[in-house]
C-alpha cells in the first residue's frame, strides 16, 4: 500500500504519460520510498520492463522491491551477483520470484550496454526505469541504455533533479542534454520530516582546516579528485578530529563516515578502532561477498563505523544508521544530499512501523521522539553544509529545478543569501545575521569594527568614529557641487545636472531602502538583523549604499525593488534607525 504522497506521485506520473510525455522524472527525497513507488508503477503498468541501476547494491535493492511486490523478474548481471541477490530475496522475504526469462528484468547499466542489442526482448520492453535518474544524458552510457529500448517510455527517479556539471536533464537539444520530458515533484524532505516519515536531524560543524584554494572544479562539476585528495591529506588533524568528535557526541551509535580515498578511509578506520569503536572500510572495489558480510555485521551492530569510499551514497537502505560524518569535501549538491540523507530514515520498532501509515502526523512524531533515534546527527568536518547553504539552504528544503542546462555565469545569490557561521563554543551552525548563537547564547566577537564587512554590515556594531566618517562622506556627496569660477556655463550646467541626477537617484534608492527596512521590521526583525540581511542580500551596507554614484545607485535600487516586488511589498515604511 502506497503512502498518500506516493499515491499522488503515482497519479502524477501516469497523468504525465497520458498527456504525451515519454520520459518522466520523479523527484522524491532520499528515504521517501522511490524504489517502492517504482515497483508499484511497474506492477500497475504491467508491460515488459527494464529496470536499470548504477551499482550492484542498487540492482539488488530494485530486485528486492520487485520481489516484495511479487513481480517475477530476471536479473542481468554476472552469475555470482544473481546468486547473491536471489539469496538475499530468500533471506528477506522467504521466497524469490527470480525468473531469468521474466518480461521484467533488472540490470546494471554497464552490463546492459554490453548486451546484444538484437535481442528481441529489447524491442518488447515498454518501460525503462532508471534509479538515480539524474545520471541520464543523451550521450552517456545511461542514454545509450535507453536507446536500446526503442519502444519504451521512461521513468527516472532521483532525490534532486540537478547535476553538478550543470547539464540540463531535458530533451530539448538546444537548451538541455538529457531525455526527460516532464518533472513530477513530490514533497520535500522537510515536509516528510514534519509528518514523521523521515527523522529530523541536528548539525555539528567543527571548523574545517582543509585548504581548497588550489583545488579546481572538474568537468563533472565536483572537485578535481587528485587535487582534492592532496588537499585532504595535507590536513594532518582531520583523522583525529573526525574520531574524537564522534566519540564525544555519538560513541556507540551506528555510523557511516565518508572518506576521500582508500588511504584516508584506512587511516580513519584505524583511528576508530584505536578509540574502541569497531570499524571497517567499504569501497566500490570491495568484493561482493565481503560487502554483504560487512553490511550484515553492520546491521547487527557488530560494526559501528563503516568508513565509505565512493559507496553508500546512493540508494542504500540501512534504516538503523544514526548519523554520518563527512570527511570528504564535495562541490556536488547531489552527492552531498545523498550522503546527508543516509541518516534520515526512521529507526522504529517493527511492530509499530507496520501500522505507521495509519497514525496521525502527531502520533508519528511522538513515536519518533521516544524511539532509539529521535534525531539523526550530521557531523560535517569539511564545510559541505556551509558550502551549499547560500544556494540551497539545507538538503531537506524545497529546491527549484529546471530541465534546462545551467547558465555558465556567476550564480545569483538565492533568497537572503545568508551564509552560515559555526559557533566556536557548541559547534552548531547558525545564520550569520544572528548576533549570538541561538543554540547556546555564545556571542560572535568580530575581529575588528572599523569596516562594515568586519561586522557583516551591522552599523550598530561599527566603531562610532567609523560611522562618523561614513556619514561625513555622505554629507559631502549630498552637498551642492563646487564649481570653480573659471568653468564656462556649459560645463557648469553639466556638473549641476549630473549632481541633480545623482541626488534624485539617491533619493529613490533611499526610499527603496526605507521600504525594505520596514518590511524587515514587519517580520519582527531588529535593526541589527535588518542591517546584516541587507548586507548579505545586496553585497553592501546601508551607509555605503547612500554614498553611491548615479549608475551604481540606480542598479542597487533596481535590485531592491525587484526583491520587494517578488515578495509583494508595495507600501512605504520607516527607514532604519541608525545608532
Architecture of domain 4-186: 3-Layer(aba) Sandwich (3.40)
Question: Nearest-CA neighbor of 453 among 560, 535, 534, 390?
Answer: 535
The per-residue pLDDT for range 466-520, each reduced to its tens digit, is 778 877 777 777 777 666 666 666 667 777 788 788 888 888 888 888 888 888 8
What average pLDDT is seen over the chain? 87
For 449-488, give the secondary structure using H, E and C: CCCHHHHCCCHHHCCHHHHHHHHHHHHHHHCCCCCCCCCC
Helix pair angle (34-45, 56-68), 10° resolution: 60
pLDDT at 479: 76
DSSP string for residues in 41-84: HHHHH-S-EEEEESSHHHHHHHHHHHHHTT--BEEES-HHHHHH
Q: Pick 7 or 485 by higher pLDDT.
A: 7
User: Tens digits of per-residue pLDDT, 184-196?
Assistant: 999 999 999 999 9
| Sheet of strand 74-76: strand arrangement | 74-76, 104-108, 49-53, 127-130, 153-158, 23-27, 182-185
Q: 4-186 with 192-397: one CATH topology?
A: yes
**Under 8 Å CB-to-CB from 246, ≥6 apart: which residues?**
255, 257, 272, 277, 305, 325, 379
What is the structure's pLDDT at 412? 43
Please give the Cα distance from 215 to 99 (Å, whole number). 49
Compute the distance between CA of residue 491 and CA of residue 507 in angstroms, rounded to an integer. Answer: 24
Residues 531/542, Cβ–Cβ less than 8 Å: yes
CB atoms within 10 A of CB 463: 14
Band (pLDDT 50/70/90 cuts) for residue 41 is: very high
Average pLDDT over residues 197-204: 94
Mean pLDDT throughout 408-418? 51
Per-residue pLDDT band for 578 (boundaries 50, 70, 90) equals very low
Rounded distance between C-alpha atoms, residue 353 and residue 364, angstroms:
9
pLDDT tens sequence across 250-290: 999 999 999 999 999 999 999 999 999 999 999 877 876 78
Architecture of domain 192-397: 3-Layer(aba) Sandwich (3.40)
Q: pTM for the complete prediction?
A: 0.79
pLDDT in tens, 210-241: 999 999 999 889 999 999 999 999 998 999 89
- With a cut of 50, say whether residue 415 has pLDDT above it: no
pLDDT digits (tens, 9 = 90+) for 59-80: 887 888 888 888 999 999 888 8
Element (H, E) at 182: strand 182-185
pLDDT digits (tens, 9 = 90+) for 427-444: 888 887 787 888 888 777
Separation of alpha carbons 309 and 283, rounded Å:
5
Decide: helix, strand or coil at residue 528: helix
User: Among 238, 239, 245, which Cα is nearest to 204's?
Assistant: 245
Instruction: Give domain limits for the chain.
Output: 4-186, 192-397, 415-445, 452-566
Amino acid at each position: 500500500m502506497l503512502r498518500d504522497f506516493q499515491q499522488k506521485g503515482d497519479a502524477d506520473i501516469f497523468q504525465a504519460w497520458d498527456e504525451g510525455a515519454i520520459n518522466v522524472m520523479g523527484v522524491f527525497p532520499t528515504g521517501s520510498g522511490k524504489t517502492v513507488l517504482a515497483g508499484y508503477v511497474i506492477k500497475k503498468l504491467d508491460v515488459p520492463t527494464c529496470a536499470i541501476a548504477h551499482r550492484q547494491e542498487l540492482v539488488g535493492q530494485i530486485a528486492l522491491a520487485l520481489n516484495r511486490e511479487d513481480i517475477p523478474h530476471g536479473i542481468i548481471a554476472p552469475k555470482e551477483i544473481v546468486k547473491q541477490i536471489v539469496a538475499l530475496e530468500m533471506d528477506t522475504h522467504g521466497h524469490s520470484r527470480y525468473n531469468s526469462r521474466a518480461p521484467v528484468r533488472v540490470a546494471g547499466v554497464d552490463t546492459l550496454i554490453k548486451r546484444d542489442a538484437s535481442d528481441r526482448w529489447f524491442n518488447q520492453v515498454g518501460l525503462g526505469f532508471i534509479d538515480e535518474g539524474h545520471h541520464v544524458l543523451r550521450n552517456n552510457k545511461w542514454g545509450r541504455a535507453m536507446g536500446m529500448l526503442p519502444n519504451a517510455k521512461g521513468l527516472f527517479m532521483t532525490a534532486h533533479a540537478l547535476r553538478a556539471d550543470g547539464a540540463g536533464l531535458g530533451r530539448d537539444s538546444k537548451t538541455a542534454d538529457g531525455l526527460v520530458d516532464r518533472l513530477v515533484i513530490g514533497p520535500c524532505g522537510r515536509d516528510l520530516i514534519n509528518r514523521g516519515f523521515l527523522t529530523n536531524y541536528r548539525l555539528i560543524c567543527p571548523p574545517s582546516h582543509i585548504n581548497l584554494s588550489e583545488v579546481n572544479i572538474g568537468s563533472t562539476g565536483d572537485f578535481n579528485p587528485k587535487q582534492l585528495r592532496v588537499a585532504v591529506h595535507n590536513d594532518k588533524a582531520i583523522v583525529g578530529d573526525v574520531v574524537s568528535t564522534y566519540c564525544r557526541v555519538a560513541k556507540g551509535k551506528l555510523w557511516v563516515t565518508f572518506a576521500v580515498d582508500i588511504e584516508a578511509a584506512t587511516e580513519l578506520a584505524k583511528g576508530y578502532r584505536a578509540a574502541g569503536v569497531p570499524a571497517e572500510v567499504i569501497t566500490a572495489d570491495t568484493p561482493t561477498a565481503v560487502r554483504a558480510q560487512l553490511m550484515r555485521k553492520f546491521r547487527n551492530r557488530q560494526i559501528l563505523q563503516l568508513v565509505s569510499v565512493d559507496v553508500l551514497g546512493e540508494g542504500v537502505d540501512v534504516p538503523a544508521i544514526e548519523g554520518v560524518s563527512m570527511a570528504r569535501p564535495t562541490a556536488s549538491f547531489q552527492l552531498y544530499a545523498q550522503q546527508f540523507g543516509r541518516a534520515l530514515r526512521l529507526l522504529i520498532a517493527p511492530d509499530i512501523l507496520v501500522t505507521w501509515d495509519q497514525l496521525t502526523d502527531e502520533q508519528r512524531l511522538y513515536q519518533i521522539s521516544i524511539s532509539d533515534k529521535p534525531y539523526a546527527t550530521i557531523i560535517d568536518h569539511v564545510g559541505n553544509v556551509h558550502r551549499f547553504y547560500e544556494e540551497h539552504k539545507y538538503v531537506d528544503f524545497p529546491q527549484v529545478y529546471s530541465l534546462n542546462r545551467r547558465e555558465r555565469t556567476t550564480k545569483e545569490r538565492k533568497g537572503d543569501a545568508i551564509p552560515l557561521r559555526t559557533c566556536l563554543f557548541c559547534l552548531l551552525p547558525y545564520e550569520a545575521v544572528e548576533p549570538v548563537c541561538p543554540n547556546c547564547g555564545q556571542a560572535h566577537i568580530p575581529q575588528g569594527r572599523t569596516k562594515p564587512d568586519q561586522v557583516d554590515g551591522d552599523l550598530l556594531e561599527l566603531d562610532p568614529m567609523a560611522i562618523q566618517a561614513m556619514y561625513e562622506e555622505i554629507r559631502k556627496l549630498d552637498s551642492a557641487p563646487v564649481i570653480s569660477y573659471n568653468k564656462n556655463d556649459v560645463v557648469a550646467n553639466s556638473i549641476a545636472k549630473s549632481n541633480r541626477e545623482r541626488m534624485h537617484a539617491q533619493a529613490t534608492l533611499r526610499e527603496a531602502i526605507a521600504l525594505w527596512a520596514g518590511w524587515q521590521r514587519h517580520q519582527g526583525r531588529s535593526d541589527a538583523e535588518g542591517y546584516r540581511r541587507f548586507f548579505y542580500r545586496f553585497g553592501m551596507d546601508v551607509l555605503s549604499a547612500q554614498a553611491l554614484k548615479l549608475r551604481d545607485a540606480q542598479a542597487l535600487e533596481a535590485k531592491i525593488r525587484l526583491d520587494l516586488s517578488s515578495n509583494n511589498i508595495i507600501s512605504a515604511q520607516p527607514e532604519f534607525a541608525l545608532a
